[in-house]
Amino acid sequence: MTNQEKMDALKERAKKIEAGGGEKAIAKLHASGRLTARERLALLFDKGSFVELYKFVEHRCTNFGMGTKEIPGEGVVTGYGSVDGRTVFAYAQDFGMMGGSLGEMHATKIVKCLEQATKVGCPVVGMNDSGGARIHEAVDALAGYGRIFYKNTMASGVIPQICAIMGPSAGGAVYSPALMDFVYMVKKDYAQMFITGPLVVKSVTGEEVSAVELGGAITHNQKSGNSHFVADSDEDCICQIKQLLSYLPSSHNERPPVIACDDPVDRREEKLNTIVPESSKRPYDMKKLIKLVVDHGEIYESQSLFAQNIITCFARMDGSPVGIIANQPLAMAGCLDINASDKAARFIRFCDCFNVPILTFVDVPGYLPGINQEFGGIIRHGAKLLYAYPEATVPKITIVIRKAYGGAYLGMCSSEAGADMVIAWPTAEIAVMGADGAANIIFRNEPDDLKQQKKEEYIEEFATPYQAAARGMVGQVIEPSETRPVIISALKMLEDKEDERPYKKHGNIPL
């Protein structure tokens, strides 16, 4: 064979692999509203930048007639390219080729993608669309999942790992997404994630449930909390992933990317002076408050449908990314419960891994009381938040808006829990418990004609930020309209913060 013939053979072989499952398989995917693996990657990467790796990998299974079965590219496309000019690695499973099933060599391609991304310090994006393990390969497929889980764990905290559920993901396939930092799900019937499907559930428990009800995007974004973002389509999902990447550094060795900002640093927002109601029993929208403070009112919220009593989102201050945790008075009065504690603690730890400063907006009346919370382990789950904040070494700024009561205030990053700067509004109420309830206990034996007077005097003195400020627990008490410039000033001051910690293998977070 001449050199030219060899080059022609190379092109022919590559063309066959790039055709994937063929025209019929592609048409079937498109009819269901899905894109192919290669189409998804083309949307993610800057035009012409994608470099495919391990294109010619083949399976080596001979069981059950697999010896003569061709699966182009082993049902998964892997490689790297640039996203808005920054290098990112990605893999996309192709349901059009044997259902995107995972075998030994399919797993090997994903493992190599994770290995190389970790080695060079670049984010990795996984696009899951697979019928699960390739049962023809038995334990080889099972071991493939194990190798992927190991690489996910080794990459954790080193590079951002993002997964998109863009098709079925069942059994062992769900655990790689669960080990990654953020999970997206497309809000279509074809995107599902569960350990066991509806038929198994019915056979074991007798419960009847559809695949979408059991493992669809709304279920995992609203009920289980297994997913962090919901997307309307493949295109919307990829657009959102690019938005998330814009807030993140490429690895733990870098700071988040700063962009030019024309929102004035010294902008005073007079609306903040009236956003908190006169009565502490009345709610308000914390998201609206946050948007009045951050650059151009733009936030990107994680788990917006789950544990809505707490907000976790990314934003920018003077062009620099920040992670924000905030109580939401519109949901359960902003109480901390099991799900809110888990949600916030995970977000805090991610921000700390990747050098994203943390802003905490506090309006918390306490931990949610009740038998279900106590039996469900609110003590253990609440302790995750108490652990995550002190463990974090990034700049931590706490802004007390209104209620800041008892252990829940400590859980929301008080100065004692490791905040570098605590800023309070005049509307702040920092106390061991609600002033009204405390007064009822303290003055319960007073005559009725004196009880109300003493109660009002107590509230006037203790339902304020000034007791805490007098003891150095609050660094600044400010007019609400000054919040933006004060926070930006504090972030600048903390930019080169160093936080020495004792050497240890790792801590033991109360999981």
**Tokens at residue 368, please?**
């949610």
Residue 450 pLDDT: 72
Q: Of 291, 328, 326, whose CA–CA distance to 308 is shortest?
A: 328
- Residue 498's contacts (CB-CB under 8 Å, 6 or more residues apart) are none
Res. 463: pLDDT tops 80: no
Distance of CA 461 to the CA centre of its chain: 40
Contact 79, 51 (CB under 8 A): yes
Average pLDDT over the chain reads 92
Specify the 3-state DSSP secondary structure of 250: coil
Q: Helix, strand, coil proportions of the chain in percent (round to 5)?
A: 45, 20, 35
The domains located in the chain, with CATH, are: 8-245 (3.90.226.10), 270-428+464-493 (3.90.226.10)
Ramachandran quadrant class, 256 (left: phi over 0; alpha: psi -120 to 50; beta: rest): beta
Percent of the chain with pLDDT over 90: 71
Name the strand (E) or helix (H) holding 325: strand 320-327
H-type alpha helices, 65-185 = 104-120, 139-155, 175-179
Residue 438 pLDDT: 65
pLDDT digits 0-9 by tens, 365-404: 999 999 999 999 999 999 999 999 999 999 999 999 999 9
pTM: 0.94
Percent of the chain with pLDDT over 70: 97
H-type alpha helices, 322-396 = 338-353, 371-376, 378-391
Contact 17, 55 (CB under 8 A): yes
Mean pLDDT of 33-45: 94
Residue type, 188: K
Residue length of the chain: 511
DSSP 475: S
Asked which of 124-138, 155-169, 262-276, 451-465 is least confident by mean pLDDT, the reply is 451-465
Catalytic residue numbers read 171-172, 407-408
Rounded distance, CA 341 to CA 402, Å?
19
Checking DSSP bridges between strand 429-431 and strand 229-231, what pairing results, if any?
A: unpaired
Residue 196 pLDDT: 84
pLDDT digits 0-9 by tens, 230-241: 999 999 999 999
Contact 274, 490 (CB under 8 A): no
Which value, to the nearest 10 degrees, does the dihedral of the CA atoms of residues 221, 225, 228, 231 take? -10
Rounded distance, CA 418 to CA 112, Å?
39
More confident residue, 163 or 448: 163
Helices and strands (H and E) in the chain: how many: 19, 17
Q: Of 178, 169, 187, 306, whose CA–CA distance to 237 is shortest?
A: 187
Reported confidence tier of residue 436, pLDDT bands at 50, 70, 90: low
Reported confidence tier of residue 473, pLDDT bands at 50, 70, 90: very high
Contact 34, 167 (CB under 8 A): yes
Rounded distance, CA 95 to CA 111, Å?
19
Residue 435 pLDDT: 64
Q: Of 158, 151, 89, whose CA–CA distance to 353 is shortest?
A: 158
